[in-house]
Each structure stands twice: as C-alpha cells, then as structure tokens.
C-alpha cells in the first residue's frame, strides 16, 4: 500500500468556528486510510471577495493517506456536509466549514472535479503561512514553487495567529 502526504486547508466563519474546526480535524483523522501527522496554529483572516461577512479562521493539516486524491476529496466533502456546509454556488461566501485538498504528494493534475495543487494556493496567505508552519521549508509545491519562496512573496494582509485554548 502506497502512503502519500497530503495537506488539507480547514476554514470557516459561521457558527462556533473553532469548535467546528476541532471537530473536523478529528473527523479527518478518523477517516479510514488517513492519519494526521501535523496540524498548524489557527489563524484569523479577512474574507476574500465579499467582505461583508465575519472574519475566517483557518488552519492546515498534514496527513498520511492511502486514499486516492478523489477518495480523499469525497471524504472531505462528506465531513463538510456533516458539519452543516451548504454549497450554494456562492464563491467566497460565508460557510460553516471549508475543507480543501491543497497538495497530494508530488502530484500536479486537474480534472473536472479536482485540481491539485489547489488553485490559488500561491496567493493565499491563510493557506501558505499555516502550511509553512508544519511543512518542510524546502517543500516544493508541484508546478508552483518552493514553499518558503511562496511565503516570502505573499503579504500577510492582516493574517494573525490566534491561540486556541
């Protein structure tokens, strides 16, 4: 069985976001064929696009998985749904939980269901900074670049690490 390291972005801005993110973290780690290997600090970020909504709280989780990227995505979407996520087609709108498959090993691919690495990853401070906290600094994001260089080129735009106690 081949094991792959994948990075998953967690975020949300509705209801009790920290509680939902903690619950989602446990749910991801409980998926058969998935094992948590690292989890970042939580970060508060301002919303993209529609700014008339609460700030987001984000984190990044590293997992070791035997699942295919599509099976992992399906599991993440089931966790979103079980945590009250409603997909209404609104881009960058408020949500209880958003789980994104950011990277999957050293693979880069895209089809109608999934793009890996995640589109926009290189410009999103709320993904890059938490990811850099738990990933090797010389990690290369397939087709995009070295993580530490991406972080250095991405302004924080008000991103702040928050304590969760």
User: Is there a catalytic annotation at residue 98?
Assistant: yes
Domain ranges, ordered by start, for the chain: 4-162
Question: Which one is catalytic: 44, 87, 100, 111?
Answer: 100
pLDDT tens for the chain, 165 residues long, are 799 999 999 998 887 889 999 999 999 999 999 999 999 999 999 887 666 778 889 999 999 999 999 999 999 999 998 887 565 555 555 667 889 999 999 989 899 999 999 988 998 999 999 999 999 979 999 999 999 999 999 999 889 999 654
The beta strands (E) that lie in the chain are given as 4-12, 34-39, 42-45, 56-65, 98-104, 109-110, 115-116, 140-141, 145-146, 160-162
Give the span between the Cα atoms of 78 and 80, in whole angstroms. 5
User: Is there a catalytic annotation at residue 85?
Assistant: yes
Backbone phi, then psi, for 146, in 5-degree steps? -80, 135
Does domain 4-162 fall under CATH 3.30.70.560? My reply is: yes
At residue 50, the pLDDT reads: 61
User: Is there a catalytic annotation at residue 95?
Assistant: yes
Give the span between the Cα atoms of 32 and 20, in whole angstroms. 20
Decide if 117 contacts 103 (C-beta within 8 A): yes
How many CA atoms lie within 13 Å of 109's alpha carbon, on the beta-carbon side? 11
Angle at which helices 69-82 and 17-29 cross, to 10°: 140
Question: Which one is catalytic: 98, 111, 124, 157?
Answer: 98
User: Is there a catalytic annotation at residue 100?
Assistant: yes
Give the span between the Cα atoms of 118 and 116, in whole angstroms. 5
């Amino acid at each position: 069985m081949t094991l792959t390291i994948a990075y998953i972005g967690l975020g949300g801005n509705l209801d009790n976001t920290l509680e939902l993110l903690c619950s989602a973290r446990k749910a991801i780690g409980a998926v058969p064929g998935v094992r948590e290997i690292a989890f970042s600090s939580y970060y508060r970020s301002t919303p993209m696009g529609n700014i008339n909504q609460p700030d987001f709280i984000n984190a990044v989780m590293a997992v070791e998985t035997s699942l295919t990227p599509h099976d992992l995505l399906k599991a993440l979407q089931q966790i979103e749904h079980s945590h009250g996520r409603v997909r209404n087609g609104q881009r960058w709108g408020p949500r209880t939980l958003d789980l994104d498959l950011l990277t999957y090993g050293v693979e880069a691919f895209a089809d109608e269901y999934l793009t890996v690495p995640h589109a926009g990853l290189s410009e999103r401070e709320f993904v890059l900074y938490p990811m850099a906290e738990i990933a090797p600094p010389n990690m290369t994001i397939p087709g995009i670049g070295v993580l530490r260089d991406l972080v250095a080129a991405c302004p924080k735009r008000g991103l702040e690490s928050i304590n969760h106690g």
